[in-house]
Structure 1
């Protein structure tokens, strides 16, 4: 009887240990599952343009996907630009040419008190268009503000969020700033694959586990996106060329425009170092053309 009692206590201890471990595991994973649930609940679309000129058919696609030719309105956010008024003018013009007049610019300034009317207008827009310029300038204005929250709420409720050039870079949670940490002289393309050279900051986070790069083929930005994928192997690197875009809905991306979209993945999470030079094995490369689709995760 004593032996049986000891065995019973041992089995009870093992069972309780399992229960505690299971509860700990599920609680640790709850935030991640919640984030995934929130992403799945978003009804909107992302239209991410690699910069350069926007072909007429691309603007048509933005209009049709957002539905602003039928109802609602569009908002242009020109804060990436050093000349926001000029940027807003040309962004509006591309829609006016298509007889779409219900597109308006909202220019927010860092540190100002944002009016509730402006925030509500942004929140309820059918389309939000982020212009090109400097992604760092844009994030300095919107990060951790009501503007950022309004963009996410609009997306969650079904709006199309579009961005070109810098407006493309801000879409991902991990944003390439364009700054080289080891080479202070600016260059539009990285000359080497070096460790700890690429600067990453927080973007809008419209899309997780992805890093966006723009003007990609035109400016040969392979080195910096490869560096990012090697040093952040949990991410997919998406390089979008000029006059080209990806339309994202849920977990699916469609290529729109004239040129290519390059996708790098590091499934083996490979990273090798020789001095400060980066190496890796098993990185995958896909080159997509207009009309083709791929899944993000």
Structure 2
């Protein structure tokens, strides 16, 4: 589950808990993206999951990669049904856990039917690449020196968050230019996507935005994306998307959009 961050209700967390197996399912929360060196049960990162009904929560945290590579540290991961990456700075998650035993056990958790979730920084860390934030939106390709590797839990995808709430909807244009084979997915606050295999469903009360470089640049005019600012399309709660075929679908009884955004016509292809 990949959430846009800054949730204002427990709905997204309730869905995550259900996917993990219910209120008593063992769930680990990773607060490493925050500023503190240590965390305890008073951590604010636990608040929303507790309010959503989770009763079996534990923290998993270190900044020491050598600790993250020990069997003792990853043992709780081997028993967990879910893991939630907290908000903050995604590079802190990466610095601590990329290519460690923690990373290996997270993949093992997914392979045995568990669920991984996170909002904001906890969403971005799940993608293949994490572009460093530019101070200004740009349609230009971002140089490789400004990219970090994510955990790669969702392959060939670049994720951005808070996209509409913070006027970031144009930022992913430059990111997919840098990697034309990658799919860009922007997720607004109070929205999330639930990924299963190659498909995802939008949940929450706002939008996910899809940036498909292959379909949106006309072959006869490869500069289209640069010159007109690029095209993207928005998926609302209930919509689904196939990342393999690059096709979206909207159910006939789809939910209405959030009241702070005016919806325009959208047509499935």
Please indicate the TM-score interval, normalised by the length of the shorter structure.
0.7 to 0.9
Q: Deviation per CA, 1:193-240, whole angstroms, max 9, x where unpaired?
A: 233457221100001111000001111213320001122110111000
Indicate the SS of the match to 2:185: strand
Structure 2: gaps (5+ residues): 245-269
Larger CA deviation: 280-289 vs 72-81: 280-289
CA contact (8 A) 1:136 1:177 kept: no
Larger CA deviation: 105-114 vs 60-69: 105-114
Q: How far did residue 58 of structure 1 move?
A: 1.4
- Find out whether 1:52 has 2:6 as its counterpart: yes
Other-structure match for 2:111: 156
CA-based RMSD:
2.5
More helix by share: 1
CA distance in 1: counterparts of 2:139 and 2:231, whole angstroms: 17
Other-structure match for 1:230: 177
Q: How far did residue 86 of structure 1 move?
A: 7.5
Q: How far did residue 245 of structure 1 move?
A: 0.3
Larger CA deviation: 59-68 vs 236-245: 59-68
CA distance in 1: counterparts of 2:202 and 2:189, whole angstroms: 12
Other-structure match for 2:151: 204
CA contact (8 A) 2:125 2:150 kept: yes
Q: Deviation per CA, 1:61-119, whole angstroms, max 9, x where unpaired?
A: 1111111325x300001111113628972232223224422011111122443442330
Indicate the SS of the match to 1:155: helix
Which residue of 262, 284, 295 corresponds with 2:209?
262
Indicate the SS of the match to 2:39: helix
CA contact (8 A) 1:76 1:88 kept: no
CA contact (8 A) 1:80 1:136 kept: yes
Which residue of 36, 61, 86 corresponds with 1:107?
61
Which of 1 and 2 has greater Rg? Answer: 1
Other-structure match for 2:50: 96
Sort the Cα spacing of 1:195 and 1:264 in 2 relative to 1 into closer, same or farther, 3 A. Answer: closer
CA contact (8 A) 1:77 1:88 kept: no
Calculate the TM-score normalised by the size of structure 1: 0.73
- Find out whether 1:85 has 2:32 as its counterpart: no
- Find out whether 1:123 has 2:69 as its counterpart: no
Indicate the SS of the match to 1:68: coil
CA distance in 2: counterparts of 1:160 and 1:192, whole angstroms: 34
Sort the Cα spacing of 1:279 and 1:155 in 2 relative to 1 into closer, same or farther, 3 A. Answer: same
Q: Which runs of 4+ in 1 moved over 6 A?
A: none
Sort the Cα spacing of 1:269 and 1:258 in 2 relative to 1 into closer, same or farther, 3 A. Answer: closer
- Find out whether 1:76 has 2:24 as its counterpart: no
Indicate the SS of the match to 1:85: coil
CA distance in 2: counterparts of 1:142 and 1:88, whole angstroms: 23
Sort the Cα spacing of 1:230 and 1:281 in 2 relative to 1 into closer, same or farther, 3 A. Answer: farther
Q: Deviation per CA, 1:166-193, whole angstroms, max 9, x where unpaired?
A: 0111111122232x3xxxxxx3xx2432
Other-structure match for 1:136: 91
Indicate the SS of the match to 1:262: strand
Other-structure match for 1:288: 235
- Find out whether 1:66 has 2:20 as its counterpart: yes
Q: How far did residue 154 of structure 1 move?
A: 0.7
